[in-house]
Amino acid sequence: MDDQYHMETLAVRAGTLTTEFGENSEALFLNSSFRFKSAAQAAARFGGKEPGNIYSRFTNPTVTMFQDKLSALEGAEQCVATSSGMSAILATIMGICSAGDHVVTSRSIFGTTVQLFTNILKRWGLEVTLVSLTDVDAWKAAVKPNTKLFFVETPSNPLTEIGDIARLAQVAHAAGAYLAVDNCFCTPALQQPLKLGADIVIHSATKYIDGQGRVLGGAVLGSKALIEPVYGFLRTAGVTMSAFNAWVFVKGMETLQVRMEAHAARALAIAQWLEQQPRVARVYYPGLASHPQYVLAKQQQRLGGGIVSFEVKPRAGQTEQEAAWEVIDATQLISITANLGDAKSTITHPASTTHSRISPEARAEAGIKDSLIRIAVGLEYVEDLKADLQLLTQA
Ligand SMILES: *Cc1c(COP(=O)(O)O)cnc(C)c1O
């Protein structure tokens, strides 16, 4: 099916399993275990000689439908669904790396991922080097004999820097390492990292795959050989996606393509409008010609995505943070929350929330100013969103 049909069709049709009742939408299997016809069948299932469901920690039909649909969209051989995006990242490292292995990643990855790598996994013997996302030579220079994995997130949060997936894949492969891409911001609707040379794709399904801010989940995708040990970790450790959450995600994926196009169209309109406003010093959006990696973004992603960040110009006597907080507090419609990928637009002050746990010096080095605001553009009418940001129009 995957070769025959286009993305929109796969999003609606791929991965569906139908029971004897002939339901036209995917069924929710809220049960922990599955019955066998005989002791021999139980033995065959447990021994891996017969495919089929055993126990929902590692086999559940609704979760299987989620995995098969997302595999079709990413062009992956295999997918493992997990309880959250963070557990997808943990399962990837646990499945693929061992103590003493080295991971190269960028400073501009999701904050909790940095914490997982540097505070927790380091204690278990993982070596981690942080480099600049956009400097391919720095990735090359960071390689050591024990380098096992490059871990990339593109576009980055909140500054929407672009990592060059194809070039980083070449550098990783030349070093005998794998390239993993956290594809949370684009989803396969806008970017398919495996087709660009990446080995592993990771998702926080919590974001755009759900699309309405309801449930948590994650996924790891790639070739059978690479994903099998990740599945082995999940089967044993139980970082499992619940069947209910899988059912919500399957429903979300049917509309993923149309939603991502709608998010991106609104985000581009907002970004272009922001560039015209007297109180805006700078706008970060990969779909703008002013973005330093506009050309690369155009090659690598179908559209700019739904995240726009910008710096506010303080009024006389205001600090940068006061200026940003004033704009945020003046909104009536947009939700003040750090989540993203929701139909409801959200507004965040990264320096005092998502990036507050890193030192002011590290924040400055990462280019995250106190005047920076991030908007995850939802699906509301664009003019209503602009009206909610009217403060920016007053010089
Ligand atoms: C939210 C997020 C995660 C973590 O996902 P959870 O589902 O919250 O565990 C990982 N990577 C990126 C880019 C994210 O935005």
* pLDDT tens sequence for the chain (395 residues): 667 899 999 999 999 999 999 999 999 999 999 999 999 999 999 999 999 999 999 999 999 999 999 999 999 999 999 999 999 999 999 999 999 999 999 988 888 898 999 999 999 999 999 999 999 999 999 999 999 999 999 999 999 999 999 999 999 999 999 999 999 999 999 999 999 999 999 999 999 999 999 999 999 999 999 999 999 999 999 999 999 999 999 999 999 999 999 999 999 999 999 999 999 999 999 999 999 999 999 999 999 999 999 999 999 999 999 999 999 999 999 999 989 999 999 999 999 998 888 788 888 888 999 999 999 999 999 999 999 999 999 98
- Cβ of residue 15 lying under 6 Å from some atom of ligand 1: no
Tell which atom from ligand 1 comes closest to the C-alpha of 184. 13
Q: How far is the CA of 116 from the centre of ligand 1 (A)?
A: 12
Residue pointed to by tokens 């100013």: 369
Tell which atom from ligand 1 comes closest to the C-alpha of 109. 13
Mutate to test the pocket of ligand 1, among 90, 190, 204, 307 (most ligand atoms within 8 A of CB): 204
Q: Which domains does the chain have, with CATH numbers?
A: 7-253 (3.40.640.10), 257-393 (3.90.1150.10)
Tell which atom from ligand 1 comes closest to the C-alpha of 87. 9
What pLDDT, in 10s, does the model give residues 297-339? Answer: 999 999 999 999 999 999 999 999 999 999 999 999 999 998 9
- Distance (Å, whole) CA 359 – CA 372: 16
- Distance (Å, whole) CA 165 – CA 194: 9
Tell me the three state secondary structure of residue 80.
Answer: strand
Q: How far is the CA of 43 from the centre of ligand 1 (A)?
A: 38
* Ramachandran category for residue 317: left, alpha or beta (phi over 0 → left; psi -120 to 50 → alpha): left
Tell which atom from ligand 1 comes closest to the C-alpha of 205. 7
- Cβ of residue 227 lying under 6 Å from some atom of ligand 1: no
Q: How far is the CA of 110 from the centre of ligand 1 (A)?
A: 7
Q: How far is the CA of 113 from the centre of ligand 1 (A)?
A: 8
Neighbours of 119 (CB within 10 A): 9
- Cβ of residue 192 lying under 6 Å from some atom of ligand 1: no
- Cβ of residue 84 lying under 6 Å from some atom of ligand 1: yes
- β-pairing, 372-376 with 307-312? antiparallel
- Distance (Å, whole) CA 174 – CA 287: 31
- Cβ of residue 82 lying under 6 Å from some atom of ligand 1: no
- Distance (Å, whole) CA 276 – CA 279: 9
pLDDT attached to residue 365? 84
Kindly list the strands in the beta sheet with 346-348, ordered across the sheet, starting from the edge strand earlier in the chain: 280-284, 307-312, 372-376, 346-348, 335-336
- Cβ of residue 210 lying under 6 Å from some atom of ligand 1: no
- Cβ of residue 86 lying under 6 Å from some atom of ligand 1: yes
- Distance (Å, whole) CA 206 – CA 215: 6
Q: How far is the CA of 18 from the centre of ligand 1 (A)?
A: 31
- Cβ of residue 204 lying under 6 Å from some atom of ligand 1: yes
- Cβ of residue 155 lying under 6 Å from some atom of ligand 1: no
Provide the angle, in degrees to the nearest 10, between the axes of the packed helices 243-254 and 61-74. 40
Ligand 1, atom 7, residue with closest C-alpha = 85
pLDDT attached to residue 395? 82
Ligand 1, atom 8, residue with closest C-alpha = 85
- Cβ of residue 184 lying under 6 Å from some atom of ligand 1: yes
pLDDT attached to residue 351? 94
- Cβ of residue 218 lying under 6 Å from some atom of ligand 1: yes
290: nearest Cα among 312, 268, 265: 268
Tell which atom from ligand 1 comes closest to the C-alpha of 88. 9
- Cβ of residue 202 lying under 6 Å from some atom of ligand 1: no
Ligand 1, atom 5, residue with closest C-alpha = 85
What pLDDT, in 10s, does the model give residues 54-109? Answer: 999 999 999 999 999 999 999 999 999 999 999 999 999 999 999 999 999 998 88
